[in-house]
Amino acid sequence: MKTYTECIPCFLGQALQASRFASDDPSVHERVLREVARAVSTMDMSRTPPEMGQLIHRVIREETGIDDPYAAVKRQFNDLVLELYPDLKERVSSADDPFEVAVRLAIAGNIIDFGGGRSADAADVERSIEESLREPLSGGGLELLRSAVDKSSDILYIADNAGEIVFDRILIEELSPEKITLVVRGRPVLNDVTVEDARAVGLLDMVDVLPNGSDAPGTILDDCSEAVRTRFAKADLVIAKGQGNFETLSGAARPVFFLLRVKCEVLARETGYELGSVVVAKI
């Protein structure tokens, strides 16, 4: 997906938010915002929004020396959702259709997104759980996904955010962990999942975890390791969570199942699903 002009104020909002996570010094915030503004003034709008996100977070690391400004917020949301885990598992096991409930919960978790200057709190998570269980699914992909899962022995599951990853664990447990390779970011960027988060929520002992070798808040295949590119091409089934992965993989050469909530107007227009939609789509 290309970058739209509406993304530009959000890039600056993201730069502001991330620079504040990394530093209390207004002169640092100012340097980061100037640098990002300069990059925006000449950026190639045909590239995906996570490519600018990648640049923003590189600027922040360079200007602050802080490698992982979102470390605390990632721990906070991993812990928060781990507390909800027993109740969420009970909702799945007691459901008429545990697969559908697990898919809906995995999408619910996608509200924990600090991209584009967004944020989330515990009340947002609770609300997203109820909405995602109640709202009609958009995208028409649920039954296609169910049948693809049944037929696949090699599933690539591309994770998105910390906290959200606990919801993903619940879906992964329904899909059978032995079939799954979990792809995480190669290094910290935004509140995106790294190997550390997979470990923190108990996924490292459950599935193969593959860091993608990239520091982008999405999956820019050209920037990923050869291993990830090969697995992406050859897997029986690819499931990708969230907006950053959608923006970078929606034009990929193979079908991907996207599971996400629609959190901005640009994505709503691009996908054709309303703001707030709970989406399972094969693209």
d(CA 91, CA 229): 36
Contact 225, 181 (CB under 8 A): no
Minimum CB separation from a copy of itself for residue 256, in Å?
27
Which amino acid is it at 165?
I
* Shortest Å, Cβ 55 to a copy of itself: 13
Q: Which is nearer to a copy of itself, 12 or 71 (CB)?
A: 12
Looking only at residues 121 through 180 of this chain, which bind a copy of itself when binding is defined by CB under 8 A? none
User: Contact between 13 and a copy of itself (CB under 8 A)?
Assistant: yes
Q: Is 66 in the site for a copy of itself (CB under 8 A)?
A: no
Nearer to a copy of itself, 14 or 191 (CB): 14
Site string for a copy of itself, 193-222 (x = CB under 8 A): ------------------------------
Comparing CB distances to a copy of itself, the nearer of 38 and 199 is 38
Q: Which of residues 110-129 bind a copy of itself (CB under 8 A)?
A: 117
Cα–Cα distance list, 184 to 85, 106, 169, 189 (Å)? 21, 16, 13, 11
- Number of residues located near a copy of itself, criterion CB under 8 A: 23
Q: How far is the CB of 16 from a copy of itself (least distance, A)?
A: 6
Q: Say which residue the tokens 């020396």 belong to.
A: 65
CA separation for the pair 233, 34 (Å, rounded)? 39
CB nearer a copy of itself, residue 37 or residue 122: 37
Give yes or no for residue 25 binding a copy of itself (CB under 8 A): no
Write out the H or E segment, with its range, that includes residue 280: strand 278-282
Give the DSSP letter string of 9-74: HHHHHHHHHHHHHH-S-HHHHHHHHHHHHHHHHH--TTS-HHHHHHHHHHHHHHHH--S-TTHHHH
Of residues 117 and 177, the one with the C-beta less far from a copy of itself: 117
Report the relative pairing of strands 257-261 and 237-241 from DSSP bridges: parallel
Near a copy of itself by CB under 8 A: residue from 29, 57, 169, 187: 29
Q: Are strands 257-261 and 180-184 parallel, antiparallel or unpaired?
A: unpaired
Please answer whether residues 43 and 52 qualify as being in contact, where contact means their C-beta atoms are separated by less than 8 angstroms: yes
Q: Is 5 in the site for a copy of itself (CB under 8 A)?
A: yes
Q: Closer CB to a copy of itself, residue 10 or residue 210?
A: 10
40 near a copy of itself, rule: CB under 8 A: yes
Nearest distance, CB of residue 44 and a copy of itself, angstroms? 11
Q: What are phi and psi of 176, to 5 degrees?
A: 80, 110
Tell me which of 37, 122, 233, 275 binds a copy of itself, using CB under 8 A.
37
* Binds a copy of itself (CB under 8 A): choice among 30, 83, 236, 274: 30
3-class DSSP state for residue 131?
helix
CA distance 32 to 58: 10
Give residues in contact with a copy of itself (CB under 8 A).
4-6, 8-10, 12-13, 16, 19, 26, 29-30, 33-35, 37-38, 40-42, 45, 117
